[in-house]
Amino acid sequence: MNVFYLPNADVGIISFPEDESKHMIKVLRMREGDAFCVTDGIGNFFDAELIDAHPKRASAQLTNKRKGYDNRNFKLSIAIAPTKLNERTEWFLEKATEIGIDEIILFASYHSERRAANVERFKKIIISAMKQSVKSKMPVINDLISFDKLVKQDFDGQKFIAWIDDDVNDNLCDLYKKNENVLVLIGPEGDFSKEEVELAKNNGFVPVSLGDARLRTETAAVVACHTIQLLNQMK
């Protein structure tokens, strides 16, 4: 069933913005009486019936508000340094949303290849992936901040920094405790500097490995995301 995103959705008659209306009527060829699903992006699904197939302001009747299957008892946050090529960061955003993630924090560090980010475009990538993977919760993505500011922020949960170093022997999958909030830092292609790692450690972050292979930034972030989700699904 097709899924559409409408912030602040609630039971009753609602109208869709022009972009969603156009996709619904012109692309999917939906007609009055067609059934579909709506998410409000904060954990709820609604049953929907199209009642006005207008290509610029389609409207529908929403019923049966219910919690989505992807509501969790823990919060998964990944902080990532945007890659030089935007499409690689966008690939991470898409895959992490499909796997399941609550918060994405963009940051700039010493070896960062990109120190600016088009967050509005990234949000569109996330919304598309949320609908495609039938999720009820839209991950929050924050504006890019400095590494120093990031590690000094308060976070209620476990904190890890993925670091490639011979002295790092503990794997993320061995240290993470199930059903607890978690924040994992993923560095740029040049990795974190030793000074950054020390700063992170002084602020409660634990260095971890993601395995023996040397991973690209976006791959490492997906591995971290999938590892946390998989551990929480294991009995």
- CATH 3.40.1280.10 residue ranges for the chain: 76-233
* Per-residue pLDDT tens digits for 26-52: 999 999 999 999 999 999 999 999 999
pLDDT for 135 equals: 95
Residue 190: pLDDT band by 50, 70, 90 thresholds? confident
For 73, the 3-state DSSP assignment is: coil
- CATH 2.40.240.20 domain locations along the chain: 3-67
User: What is the pLDDT, as a whole number, of residue 130?
Assistant: 96
Interatomic CA distance for residues 13 and 153, integer angstroms: 41
**Sign of the torsion angle spanned by Cα atoms 7, 9, 15, 21:** positive
pLDDT tens figures, 84-124: 999 999 999 999 999 999 999 999 998 888 888 899 999 99
CATH architecture, range 76-233:
3-Layer(aba) Sandwich (3.40)
The CATH class that applies to domain 3-67 reads mainly beta
- Work out the average pLDDT over 3-28: 93
Write the CB contacts of 106 (distance below 8 Å, at least 6 apart in sequence).
79, 80, 81, 82, 117, 119, 141, 142, 143, 144, 145
Mean pLDDT value across the chain: 94
